[in-house]
């Protein structure tokens, strides 16, 4: 008889405990809030493509000889390997070409690197000859109308602009020996506008 009473008492205690735990759970749940945020986004495909095209033949002045024609390389992002010979005063060459934005993003020029040409010669008059040529050399890259290319110039998507590269000897004398002209690499860096 006593044993039965103890069992009932124990069950009673367990029941009360369970009720308490459930009560605590309900109380806890009732004083919290879950705030939520949700959504969806997508990223459109994009293409970045600034390149040269429509490279013209050489426009030669005077007795200038074109030894090697320039070529478009590296997905048309480079014009290179041209070689010309100036034979007389007032000789010169120019090439025209376009820079095109075929991508989906507007662009602008962030940097222009246009070094000063380097002249080298041989013989007793090497210094004089080199100076003569480099001091009277015009090397320029401009827009076709002669406007200077500047940092910040824009090239909107779908837009193309015509450029002209000029190399001219403006001196009135000729050197004693052959003078080689190097350092003609120009870099234009376009970035997203």
Partner 1 sequence: MNKGTKYIKIGVAVAAFLLCGTIVYAGFTQQLDIQGKATVKKSSWAIKFTNLQPVVKTGTATEVTAPTINTNDTKISEYDVTLTTPGDSVTYDFDVTNEGTFDAKISSITIPTPSCKGSGDNATADETNVCDNLTYTLTYADGTQLAVDDTLTSGETKSLKLTLTYLSSINAEQLPTEDVSISNLAISVIYAQAASSTSD
Query: Least separation, in Å, of the C-beta of 24 and partner 1?
Result: 13
Query: Which CB, 2 or 29, lies closer to partner 1?
Result: 29
List phi, psi (to 5°) of 20: -65, -45
Question: CA–CA separation, 155 vs 136, rounded Å?
Answer: 33
Query: Least separation, in Å, of the C-beta of 103 and partner 1?
Result: 8
Query: Least separation, in Å, of the C-beta of 50 and partner 1?
Result: 9
Query: Least separation, in Å, of the C-beta of 148 and partner 1?
Result: 26
Task: Please give the helix or strand (H or E) that residue 166 lies within, else none.
Answer: strand 160-169
Query: Which CB, 45 or 172, lies closer to partner 1?
Result: 45
109 backbone φψ class: left, alpha, beta (φ>0; ψ -120 to 50):
beta
Q: List the structure tokens of 193.
A: 């506008």
Antiparallel, parallel or unpaired: β 83-85 and 160-169: unpaired
Q: Which residues bind partner 1 (CB under 8 A)?
A: 30-48, 104-105, 192
Query: Which CB, 4 or 75, lies closer to partner 1?
Result: 75
Three-class secondary structure of residue 53 per DSSP: strand
Query: Which CB, 4 or 40, lies closer to partner 1?
Result: 40
């Amino acid at each position: 008889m006593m044993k039965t009473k103890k069992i009932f008492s124990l069950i009673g205690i367990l029941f009360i405990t369970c009720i308490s735990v459930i009560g605590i759970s309900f109380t806890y749940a009732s004083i919290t809030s879950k705030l939520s945020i949700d959504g969806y986004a997508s990223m459109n495909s994009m293409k970045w493509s600034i390149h040269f095209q429509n490279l013209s033949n050489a426009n030669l002045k005077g007795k200038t000889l074109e030894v090697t024609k320039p070529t478009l390389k590296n997905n048309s992002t480079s014009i290179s390997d041209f070689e010309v010979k100036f034979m007389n005063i007032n000789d010169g060459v120019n090439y025209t070409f376009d820079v095109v934005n075929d991508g989906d993003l507007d662009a602008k020029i962030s940097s222009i690197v246009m070094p000063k040409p380097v002249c080298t010669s041989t013989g007793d008059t090497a210094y004089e000859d080199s100076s003569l040529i480099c001091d009277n050399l015009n090397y320029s890259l401009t827009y076709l109308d002669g406007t200077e290319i500047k940092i910040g110039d824009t090239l909107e998507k779908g837009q193309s602009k015509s450029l002209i590269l000029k190399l001219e000897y403006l001196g009135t004398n000729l050197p004693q020996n052959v003078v080689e002209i190097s350092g003609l690499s120009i870099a234009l860096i376009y970035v997203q506008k």
